[in-house]
Amino acid sequence: MGQQRYQTVTNTVSTFVSTIALSALYPLQIDFYRVRLNSDGITKRIEWIGSSEYLGTQAQTTVTVTFDPDEELVAGDEIVAIATDGGNNSSELSNPTLVV
């Protein structure tokens, strides 16, 4: 997974998958998760906030998707993503991107 940028005003995520079209069974499903501190201020929880489809024709390009999470994202939340192809092969979890 490449970088993600989250803009809290418009609820958009831009993502880049570096896998070439011949190396995965496209389309990919990109699942986005919020990582948030629990009330103890120490441990974290991860919550699914949305998905998008990433087509083979979009391979190695930046794609911007819009979605509305059930609960508003707040400054300090982090967003991570994982890509899964048609053969149920998954990417690594992306590096977290901080919501500001």
Whole-number pLDDT of residue 32: 93
Cα–Cα dist 40/33, whole Å: 20
DSSP designation for 90? B
Q: 8 is written with which tokens?
A: 């809290």
State the CATH number of the domain containing residue 25: 2.60.40
Q: Which domain holds residue 39?
A: 4-98
What confidence tens digit (pLDDT) does each residue in 16-61 have? 888 888 889 999 999 999 998 888 988 899 999 889 999 988 989 9
Cα–Cα dist 43/37, whole Å: 6
Reported pTM: 0.80
- What ranges make up the beta strands (E) of 2-91? 4-7, 12-16, 28-37, 44-54, 62-66, 78-84
The domain tally of the chain equals 1
Cα–Cα dist 86/91, whole Å: 12
